[in-house]
Structure 1
């Protein structure tokens, strides 16, 4: 049940990296990073496929030789530059953890807690011996439910253990009063990745459904049901989930912040949905407040009806299934194998499991993230990197202001407000100013499941305790070692953890073309999220409030629709296309990111020069750097899952899509009519 309950609103947007890193036998960017000191070249020239015209497929030109020879390890759903960096960072964490296991530390210290949590997860002998004993008490509690009226009190109690049954809870800023915390309740209750999985009828989707059913069946069998009982129970659980899925909003509908903000009084909501027993639910969860946000009203109405119509025995099987699924990876090998067979093999295309140490490092980072971060930045992050990064952020901020000033489609009055928002960005770089206090958590090296429960209870209480207090904008929602970045609209903040401030994104010794094409693009991407189809609906203070003139908003939306249509035309697997509506915000982020980073680069000495390195001009190196940070390869299964569930486009289109719309790229690589990367000037999209 390693489930973090993020306090970030559902709109929080990341750079988007869904696949864990890995090693490979090809020359990787992490290899280059280890030898970067003193080098004058940071491009991976060995990956370039000169047989491909950069004007036809720039991503394949920059990465083609690597792509055609790279092999995805069986334990990974992908491979590439971004993923190599995650792997390098994981190896750094491993070094920290192994050093910890050799020492003795004061009881209650960060070192003791991280060490003992890690050791408890590595103790597979004890875990194997226990089987599913750690979850039997809760399964027995479910068996003891006497009526449907007992369901929601049970669900509420498990929420305090950070277990999300039937709904998700997030404690974040009130999106229309960002100085105050507001509990938000969101649709939940499904076991498959998305509501649409339950209704697709193509052959591949039917296979996925059958694999999910097999997973449920296996878990029931492992916990004592006969083959016949497990088969019947599986169908019951799936049918309950499918009934809930019918009321779920789609991924695209979830992108509309206004429709997912429905602040209501607790009394009114409880009266309208009596089966939810909402007053009792809040009391059990320790929440004392007059109003809440109900993200998807339709879902909770359907849940209210289901709590009355679905038989108690069906609910018991449903709750058991979800509890076992949530706990599978902390139990014995048979449960871990069952989880892998569905989530790993079917959804991600893996053929072998990761070494246990990798999974336990991830679990420790999820449960004791600030403790791990504190140890990580002491060893692997420098003040010089933070200072240089802040310089880059400030330069891109200036470049973005210039772009706003020069927009030909936005009125002067809206430009003023856009620049006000731009200049109120909170900038977080590297790691938090203060660390969480884990002194209340008891961690024992012999009790892995108990350690996870203690951490989950801490995380829940930490979140709930914020209610009624002023919003703390110093909070981070990623660990320092995370290779990613994010924008949070209600804080109006851009956040860059230490993990991403490494090559190929960033290197103190690299030339500006490399850094601006790498981390500069990332900075610009996150800044642009403040002005994408979602972020643009929030003002400078983080409130969901229109600050646009009607005419400007119309022009902005028209340009967004044009971008949707372009990305809808991109094919991924056979007839499977990118979902332009689902990926609109990230595509705007990429389009704006490359433009802002390029403008900032042109303000540097190298950006105004023409001296070639590795045979490339400064402009060409800038675009090559941008293409090579997205050097990657995924399994077909992982790509399919990404298209159905992820707001980010596949790597090739995160490069080619924006560049097809960017005039300086045309000039740098002599793209002309007839080339595959060419779009007519009137068809090109320019937003920021």
Structure 2
């Protein structure tokens, strides 16, 4: 089942700023919408676009040397790869991240099947992992049960009669991972990060963003015209009465909710989403909804206040709910319950779900193999249990040690930049360096793995297992309230191909699965590693100083610790970043939203800069050797450019441009045009397409 937007996404763009290699695409088995048994390598016969890495870690066959680096650096580095690579039919995009994610899935499958074959005592993690996977893989049993597992959930919705019943149903849906218009969840307090508190925020849309309901662009209009029949089809499959009329009413309700939602850009403003409201005043300030019953049914501990992320949106949503007929609200809840459960139901539900969320929204023509969706089920419910096995088999102590050394050099390089930053006031520089010195790098895997003793997994009960996994995670979050903050917690599993910065904990985190080629190879040329994983590390470090990360003080709390002059001078740089990226047009008529992607673009620009500095530090004054005709600086930039190998379907790019704070991959490679060293390395000259004069080059840090 899909996890609640409230719990997983409310603060994601500001408190868990990832390197972003988020891909829109076909829904996994655990999501109703967006988001070889024992492989050991990226074999050329099974992996489209596989890198043919040379002796020093760069795929020379990917390059198109007929293109001048200054005219199109991305094509120079990746042109032949683009020409020969086809996006797999079950993906909306493909590239280095996709290749590694595919490898991680294959490895995880092997681990799961190995565990399942072993004799496991009842109740052990091994037994639970095996049962969860085997139950999902038994498609014949799922078909035989039909809609029977779904009926108790729908019967409870049919029994709703009062506003209090509705509030209880919303709380239950949130616990089960269903996105509803109003719910509550637990997170660290943004202004007192030593405690956990309760947040509520906007939700309830079936399409990826408010623009899909409101924008008049032809593609969004087309999506809307297909969404209503999709709703009707899902209701019809579940045997619901009057599906066509219900679908129209559900869409109109969602459209009303979309009209009051904050935009993606507004949601990025960390200081604007912190709005404490006394618990007893929620109903007065946001009338039309039974807040007290929702909080009680959510099992939220009694706290003096709740943090409201988008006050105007929540006021509007409560008003809309209060004015909507109960019959329509029940239809809405029924549809979202069916949609959320679809990946666990018979094939007709799976196919209808995929046809809209996979194909219409992301352009993906083919559903992922069932075993891949089964891996997602296990990763979603017991990810750290699998992760513990993953690092034992695939992450060596040598790789961890070399990654640790890279991080230390990157921190040194950032500190050197901060120490002589001319535009920042001296007193602010002292605090910035103190913040950097307090960083906690987490490499590979957590110090302690999660305990799954309380999670019950039942053979053959696929939908019930998904519900219990969602409840287990929800209860785990609730149990934090009143306890000291667990600074050792990870928010990604070791087998996740990504990385993130969490300013509340003042940490940067790199799971084991991203610490491999093309990002990192313990045996590769250091220049390539610094250009690859070094830039990723630099990206995460500088997230703590981007336009939102800089709002967290050295202790990790949201506070204004810069002088007004610092803020004004910083804005002159960020305005230039917005303008530079807003000029990029990945698809006809679809430009990058410079405001939405600002934090990620700052992190790319500064991260690449400090990665280059760290590479130079690693040489200890020595001259880098020339390898295969490439200097050390050239190899650094080649390593960086090949990180961004990406092909994506137009629908996926459109969704990314609308909802994702990351610029599409190919355009992230152009960060190099702001580095003087790139011009020197490739003799980039005036008149070439991506040439910037020294005055035009943006140097934030």
TM-score by length of 2: 0.94
Aligned to 1:153, the other structure's residue is in SS state helix
TM alignment of 1:282-293, pairs within 5 A: 282-287=295-300, 288-293=302-307
Deviation at residue 346 of structure 1 after TM alignment: 1.1
Q: Of 430, 434, 437, which residue of structure 2 is paired with 1:423?
A: 437
Corresponding position: 1:76 with 2:91: yes
Are the structure 2 counterparts of residues 30 and 388 from structure 1 closer, same or farther at C-alpha, using a change threshold of 3 Å? farther
Distance 1:386 1:480 in 2: 12
**Further displaced range: 658-667 or 5-14:** 5-14
Alignment counterpart, residue 235 of structure 2, candidates 202, 206, 220: 220
Match of 2:544 among 530, 539, 548: 530
Q: Does 1:628 align with 2:642?
A: yes
1:116 and 2:131 aligned: yes
Alpha-carbon contact 1:29-1:44 (below 8 Å) kept? no
Q: How far apart are residue 154 of structure 1 and its match?
A: 1.5
Partner of 1:195: 210
Q: Find out whether 1:103 has 2:105 as its counterpart.
A: no
Aligned pairs for 1:458-537 (under 5 A) are 458-537=472-551
Write the mapping of 1:201-350 to structure 2, written as runs, cut at 5 A.
Answer: 201-225=216-240, 229-287=242-300, 288-350=302-364
> Whole-Å Cα distance in 2 between the matches of residues 601 and 432 of structure 1?
27
- Secondary structure of 2:413 counterpart: helix
**SS of 1:182's equivalent?**
strand
Post-superposition Cα deviations, 1:446-467, rounded to whole Å, max 9, x if no partner, equal 2111111111111010000111
The structural deviation recorded for 1:234 is 0.7
Residue pair 1:79, 1:632 contacting (<8 A) in 2 also: yes
Residue by residue, what CA displacement relative to the aligned partner does 1:243-294 show, whole Å, maximum 9, x if unpaired?
Answer: 1111100000001011111012101223323432222221111112111100
Specify every segment of 5 or more residues in structure 1 that has no aligned partner in the other structure, as ranges: 34-38
- Check whether the contact 1:156–1:285 (CA below 8 A) recurs between aligned residues: yes
Tell me the distance in 2 between the aligned counterparts of 1:480 and 1:500: 9
SS at match of 2:94: strand
Determine helix, strand or coil for the equivalent of 2:119. coil
**Cα drift, residue 637 of structure 1:** 1.0
Out of 89, 92, 116, which is 2:107 matched to? Answer: 92
Q: In the alignment, what sits opposite 1:3?
A: 3
Corresponding residue to 1:65 among 75, 80, 105: 80
- Which range is displaced more, 181-190 or 302-311? 302-311
Counterpart selection for 1:144 from 159, 176, 195: 159
Cα deviations by residue, 1:13-70 (Å, 9 ceiling, x for unpaired): 111122379987698785657xxxxx73211000110111001110110000110221
Q: Deviations over 1:283-309 (max 9, x none)?
A: 111112111100011122112212221
| Distance (whole Å) between structure 2 residues aligned to residue 245 and residue 432 of structure 1 | 38
Q: Which residue of 2 aligns with 1:374?
A: 388
Measured after TM superposition, the shift of residue 667 of structure 1 is: 0.6
In the alignment, is the contact (CA less than 8 A) between 2:182 and 2:200 conserved in 1? Answer: yes
How many aligned residue pairs are there? 680
Q: Output one character per residue of 1:454-504: Cα deviation in whole Å (capped at 9) or x when no partner.
A: 111110100001111121111110011000000011111100001111111
- With over 3 angstroms needed to count, the CA separation of the structure-2 counterparts of 1:349 and 1:587, relative to structure 1, is same
Native 8 Å contact 2:363 2:650 kept in 1: yes
- Over residues 485-537 of structure 1, what are the superposed CA-to-partner deviations in whole Å (9 max), with x where a residue is unaligned? 00011111100001111111111111111110111000000001000011000
Which residue does 2:21 correspond to in 1? 17
How do residues 471-620 of structure 1 correspond to structure 2 at under 5 angstroms?
471-605=485-619, 608-620=622-634
Q: Deviations over 1:117-160 (max 9, x none)?
A: 11111011111112222121111111111134421121113323
Are the aligned partners of 1:180 and 1:468 in contact in 2 as well (CA < 8 Å)? Answer: yes
Q: Which residue number in structure 2 is paired with residue 667 of structure 1?
A: 680
Q: Is the 8 A contact 2:644 2:669 kept in 1?
A: yes
**Are the counterparts in 2 of residues 55 and 678 from structure 1 also a CA contact under 8 Å?**
yes
Separation in structure 2 between the aligned mates of residue 29 and residue 534 of structure 1, nearest angstrom = 36
How far apart in 1 are the matches of 2:96 and 2:316? 45
Report the CA distance between 1:82 and its aligned residue.
2.1
The SS at the match of 1:434 is coil
Shift of 1:572: 1.1
1:423-461: per-residue Cα shift (whole Å, max 9, x none)? 111111111111111111121232111111111111010
- CA distance change for structure 1 residues 28 and 196 in 2, over 3 Å: closer, same or farther? closer
Once the two structures are TM-superposed, the CA of residue 7 in structure 1 deviates from its matched residue by 9.0
| 1:177 has 2:187 as partner | no
How far apart in 2 are the matches of 1:643 and 1:679? 25
Runs of 4+ in 1 over 4 A off after TM superposition: 20-33
Distance in 2 (CA, whole Å) between partners of 1:7 and 1:345 is 23
Corresponding residue of 2:172: 157
Tell me the residue number matched to 1:393: 407
Q: Unaligned stretches of 5+ in structure 2?
A: 27-41
2:48–2:86: 8 Å Cα contact kept in structure 1?
Answer: no
Answering whether residue 428 of structure 2 is matched by residue 414 of structure 1, we say yes
Higher mean displacement: 409-418 or 96-105:
96-105
SS of the aligned residue for 1:264 comes to strand
Kindly indicate whether the alpha-carbon contact (under 8 Å) linking 1:427 and 1:495 is maintained by their aligned counterparts in 2: yes
- Judge conservation of contact 1:187–1:299 (CA < 8 Å) in 2: yes
Tell me which moved more, 11-20 or 120-129.
11-20
Displacement of 1:170 in angstroms is 3.3
Q: CA deviation at 1:578?
A: 0.6
- Tell me the distance in 1 between the aligned counterparts of 2:461 and 2:426: 62
Listed one character per residue, the Cα deviations across residues 585-637 of structure 1 (whole Å, up to 9, x for unaligned) are: 00001001100100000012288424211221000000000000111111111
Alignment of 1:642-657 (within 5 A): 642-656=656-670
Maintained 8 Å contact 2:187/2:199: yes
* Aligned-partner Cα distance in 2 for 1:406–1:168: 46
1:563 match: secondary structure: helix
Shift of 1:665: 0.5
3-state SS of 1:61 partner: helix
